[in-house]
Each structure stands twice: as C-alpha cells, then as structure tokens.
C-alpha cells in the first residue's frame, strides 16, 4: 500500500509538470503555446479585438474628414493650366537666393493664409502694405520651398527630403504654422545620426525646434568621447559657445542621474 | 500491482482534469482564468498592445491634421461681431418658408464653396448669375439650417438633432456634399425604430440615402406583421406604391434566403 501511494504521488507530480507544459491554441495566431507563455483570457482577447475594430473605424472617419477638409491648392490650377477661376486674392513671391529674377508669383487666398498662420493673419487683417498691394514677398526662400509651403497650407501634405524639411521648418517657424513645424521636426528626427547631430542641434536652436534639440542632444551625449574631435564642434565653440555649454550641462546631468539610479539599485 | 496501477492511473486522470482547470493570470485584466478560457499567447498579446498604441498615435496625428485643416467659419465673425475682415466674396441667403422677410445674408468664400461642392463649383466657375451678383439664394431652407450647412463646409462639424439632420441631408444631396450626407445618414440610422421607419424609408428614397433605405427596410421587414395597420403604410400605398412593392420584394427575398439557409443546415 505504501508503494502504491508512492507510485501514485509520482504519477501526479509527472502529470503536474505536464500540465505546466500543457499546450493551448492561441486564438490570434492559431499556434500552440505552453501555459507559461499565456497572454490573455478569452474575454480580454475579444475586447481587444473590438477595441482594434473601433480604433480602425475612427481612423477611417478621420481620414474621410481630412479628405473633406483638404483644399484643392490653387497651385494645382497653375500646374494643370486650368482656365477655371480660383478666386485667389493675393500672390506670394519668393525673393532672395537669386530667385527674384525668375520668380513666378504663387496665387493664394487671404482667407486660407489667415486661417493657417497668425503672422499672415496680423499682416492681412491689419491693412498692412501686403494686404493693400495683394503681394506678399517672402525673403530668403527658394521658389520650390515656397511652393511646397503654400501647398501645405491648403492640403497638410508635403513631400519631404532633408533639404525641403529644413526649408519648410524655417518657414513654419517664421509664419508660426505649428502643424508643419512639427511635421518637419518629426521627419528630421527620424533622420538623426551621429554625423548630422551637431549640425541639427545648431539648426534646431536657431529655429526653436524643441523636440529636435532634445533628440540631437541625446545622440551627441551618447557619443561624448568623440565630440571634441569633430570639426562642427570646433566651429560651434567659435560661433556659439553657449550651445556647447548646454551640451556639457546635459551630459553632466545625465551622469548624475545614472549614478543615482545605480546607487538606488545597489541599495 | 494491478491495484496500484489502477490507483496511479486514477491519480493521473484526476491530475489531468485539474490541469484543464489550471488557473492562469491574464496579462490584460490580471484576473485568474482556466486554461479552457485562454485567449492569446504572450507574443500575440504584446503585438496587440503595440498595434493599439500605433493606432492611437495615428488617431492623434489625424486629429491634429483635422484641427489644422479646419477653417474658422466666417459665421464666427458674424457671431462675435469681430471687425476683422474675413475676405468673403459671396453671400448665401435662405429663401422660402417665410425666411426671406428676415433673412440675414451669410458671408462665405467662393473658394470654400467650390472646394466642397461640385454644384457650387459649376455655379461659380461658369460665371452664372450667382457668381456675377455674389449672391446665392438657397430655396426651401430655414436660416438655421443654412447657417449649419455653411458652417459644416468650413469645419466638418454639425450639432445634430433629428430635424437638423433631415434638413442638412436635403441640402447635402442638393449640393452633393457627400461627407455631410453620410454624416446625417449615420445619425438618422442611429435613431431608427419601428415608429419612424416608414417615414425614414420614404424620406431616404426622396433624397437618395442608400444606407438609410437599407437600414429602414431592415426594421420594416422585422415588423411585417404590423405593417399594414400603420397609417404611414396606407399613405405610402396611396402616394408611392412602388416603394411599397419594394418592401414586399425585400421581405420575400429575405424569406427565400432564410429558407435556403435552413435547408442547408438540415442537410
């Protein structure tokens, strides 16, 4: 009887360890998995599915709203050489960078400019020279960048490469078009690396790109041992040493934090 | 020996049934659940979480885009009695329903009307009377409905009750503003019940609301036994018997389908 008890208890213990390894089928990927790799119960799985469907419906609704609110740009008319009137009441002209010689005026609507930019709003609503003449000169910008800028004000879309993102960020900051500025910052942050970090850090400071400053600073701090050897570093020390000080301050602050974390984890 | 085998196999079978009832913790709701109520594996749970985060980020981006593209409406100026110019170049006037006597002209931008409605586009781009005079008369509409209509063209927002949804759907169909029409249809479908189904079915037919026709038809068919007793039914037989025929046709088609499904499940 004693032996049989022993046997039966070993059998139970075998079965228990089997039960830990018991295979279940995942309702999502339909693969088998062991109980220790379990994720959710059925109810939560079903709720998560519903949530995902709801979020996708919300996305579809918002996309339809964007499509409805998006303006055709008067530049499409320019491009398509359509004869239909656009009812534009102002033109923008790129000046600077030798652009004036062949600058094509870009037609626009005062109402759109005013709606998208508080700077245009102040300019056009207060009967300044630009409002009377119906011509707004934009300095230090290429024709292509200005065209992309105007297009963004109508459509909230821009086809970016790095140069275009720099140009549009400058315009967005100058005319306080926050949505475009954030779009350019996100793009440039996605292109950040050690090689362009100091240049981007300086650029972001010049044009008040706060997210970009933080992102560039983070890349620079991760490469502090190589910093002083870079040409851009030496240029920055020469031109704007306060920005260099900020780098060192951020580095020191990170070091202090890391040390505090280590102390805390040891305790 | 035989007895001990018996014992151990019963022990295993007990342990197995325990393993079926083994409790696991759901990573989502943190409640315990039995293995037969398992939903997903851990990997799929983590992926689903990431997907949800991504979808939420996309929603935030789209909401920011909508906010950027949304126009301030010139009617806000009217309301706020702001002195700032709106650069409007056209007015809309509600006529009919005794509105003309005290109709306030609603200022708007040709560019916005043209961008939102192909009917306004044809009207204003082809130098018709409305474009020359800068006045568009909208017949058979209340001032409030026209104001809400114009506001929607600028903001893609409308505060709906049932009457307003009917009025705006009529305008949306007349001026082919699809996004608004779909918005009104969704609202009215959400308010459908047996009491208003025949009226909504007739209304939807008059204004080409396809989704609303289907939804109302479905409610009517679920209540066929009570149909002929309703006053609206008798009115419809009188006024537009083709629509009544369509109800019966839809009912018969559903009956045939249900019968076919039953046959199939019996086989």
Q: What CATH superfamily classification does B46-191 receive?
A: Potassium Channel Kv1.1; Chain A (3.30.710.10)
Chain A residues in contact with B179 by the CB 8 A cut-off are 64-65, 67-68
Residues of chain B with CATH 3.30.710.10: 46-191
Write down the mean pLDDT value for chain A.
86
Question: Band of the pLDDT at A19, cuts 50, 70, 90?
Answer: low
What is the topology classification, in CATH, of domain A192-267? 1.25.40
CA–CA distance, A94 with A106 (Å, rounded to integer): 9
Residues of chain A with CATH 1.25.40.420: 192-267
Q: Do B24 and A35 touch (CB under 8 A)?
A: yes
pLDDT over 80 at A107, yes or no? yes
Residue of A18, A44, A123, A178 to mutate, interface with B, max B Cβ within 10 Å: A44
pLDDT over 50 at A14, yes or no? no
Give the nearest chain B residue to A154 (CA atoms). Answer: B69
User: What CATH number does the domain located at B192-261 have?
Assistant: 1.25.40.420
- pLDDT tens per residue across span A36-83: 899 999 999 999 999 999 999 999 999 999 999 998 777 776 656 566
Residues of chain A with CATH 3.30.710.10: 61-158
Chain A residues in contact with B41 by the CB 8 A cut-off are 24, 26, 28-29, 31, 33, 37-39
Residue A245: predicted pLDDT: 96
Residues 6+ apart with CB under 8 A from B200: B188, B192, B212, B216
pLDDT over 60 at A157, yes or no? yes
Residue B16: predicted pLDDT: 47
Question: Band of the pLDDT at A96, cuts 50, 70, 90?
Answer: low
Using CB atoms within 10 A of its CB, is residue B261 exposed (0-12), middle (13-18) or buried (19+)?
A: exposed
C-beta of residue B51 within 8 angstroms of C-beta of residue A59: no
Q: Do A111 and B71 touch (CB under 8 A)?
A: yes
Residue B103: predicted pLDDT: 74
Long-range contacts of A230-237 (CB under 8 A, 24+ apart): A230/A198, A232/A198, A232/A199, A232/A202, A233/A198, A236/A198, A236/A202
For residue B108, the distance in angstroms to the closest alpha carbon of chain A comes to 10
Percent of chain A having pLDDT more than 70?
Answer: 85
For chain B, list residues with pLDDT below 70: 1-21, 77-84, 96-102, 266-267
Residues of chain B with CATH 1.25.40.420: 192-261
Residue A5: predicted pLDDT: 40
Closest residue by Cα to residue B33 from A13, A46, A17, A28: A46
Please give the structure tokens belonging to residue A37. Answer: 């790799």
Greatest extent of chain A over all pairs of C-alpha atoms, in Å: 109
The ipTM value here is 0.81
Chain A / chain B CB contacts < 8 angstroms? 212
Q: Greater confidence, A72 or A193?
A: A193
Q: Do A62 and B64 touch (CB under 8 A)?
A: no
Entry pTM: 0.82
CA angle B75, B76, B79 (to 5 degrees): 85
CA–CA distance, B225 with B201 (Å, rounded to integer): 17
C-beta of residue A212 within 8 angstroms of C-beta of residue A189: yes
For residue B248, the distance in angstroms to the closest alpha carbon of chain A comes to 33
CA–CA distance, A105 with A231 (Å, rounded to integer): 40
Using CB atoms within 10 A of its CB, is residue B262 exposed (0-12), middle (13-18) or buried (19+)?
A: exposed
DSSP notation for B165-210: HHHHHHHHHHTT-HHHHHHHHHHHHHT--HHHHHHHHHHHHHTT-H
Q: Greater confidence, A167 or B256?
A: A167
Residue A168: predicted pLDDT: 98
Residue B77: predicted pLDDT: 63
Q: What CATH superfamily classification does A61-158 receive?
A: Potassium Channel Kv1.1; Chain A (3.30.710.10)
The per-residue b/e assignment along A195-225, b for 16 or more CB within 10 angstroms, e otherwise, is ebbbebbbbbbebebeebbebbbebbbeeee
Residue B81: predicted pLDDT: 56
Among candidates A8, A27, A116 on the partner chain, residue whose Cβ is nearest the Cβ of B39: A27
Residue of B30, B43, B57, B65 to mutate, interface with A, max A Cβ within 10 Å: B65
pLDDT over 70 at A86, yes or no? yes
Q: Greater confidence, B240 or A267?
A: B240
DSSP notation for B74-97: HHHHHHHT--S-----EEEEEEST
Closest residue by Cα to residue B147 from B217, B205, B84, B77: B77
Please give the structure tokens belonging to residue B158. Answer: 């409308």
A139 has which bridge partners?
A95
Helices B143-155, B162-174: axis angle to 10 degrees equals 70
CA angle B190, B191, B194 (to 5 degrees): 115
Which has the minimum average pLDDT: A44-53, A91-100, A161-170, B164-173?
A: A91-100
pLDDT over 90 at A4, yes or no? no
Phi and psi at residue A193, to the nearest 5°: -150, 180
Residue B97: predicted pLDDT: 56
């Amino acid at each position: 009887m004693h032996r049989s008890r022993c046997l039966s208890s070993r059998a139970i213990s075998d079965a228990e360890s089997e039960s830990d390894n018991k295979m279940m089928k995942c309702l999502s990927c339909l693969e088998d998995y062991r109980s220790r790799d379990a994720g959710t119960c059925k109810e939560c799985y079903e709720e998560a599915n519903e949530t995902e469907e709801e979020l996708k419906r919300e996305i579809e609704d918002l996309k339809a709203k964007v499509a409805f609110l998006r303006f055709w740009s008067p530049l499409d008319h320019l491009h398509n050489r359509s004869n239909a009137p656009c009812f534009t009441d102002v033109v923008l002209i790129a000046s600077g960078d030798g652009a004036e010689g062949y600058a094509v005026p870009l037609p626009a609507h005062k109402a759109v400019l005013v709606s998208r930019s508080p700077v245009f709003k102040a300019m056009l609503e207060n009967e300044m020279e630009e409002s009377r003449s119906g011509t707004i000169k934009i300095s230090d910008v290429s024709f292509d960048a200005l065209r992309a800028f105007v297009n963004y004000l109508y459509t909230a879309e821009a086809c970016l490469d790095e140069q275009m993102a720099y140009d549009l960020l400058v315009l967005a900051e100058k005319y306080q078009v926050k949505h475009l500025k954030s779009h350019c910052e996100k793009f440039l942050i996605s292109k950040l690396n050690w090689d362009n970090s100091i240049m981007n850090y300086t650029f972001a400071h010049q044009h008040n790109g706060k997210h970009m400053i933080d992102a560039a600073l983070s890349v620079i701090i991760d490469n502090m041992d190589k910093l002083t050897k870079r040409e851009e570093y030496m240029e920055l020390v020469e031109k704007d040493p306060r920005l260099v000080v900020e780098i060192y301050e951020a580095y020191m602050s990170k070091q202090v934090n890391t040390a505090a974390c280590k102390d805390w984890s040891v305790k």
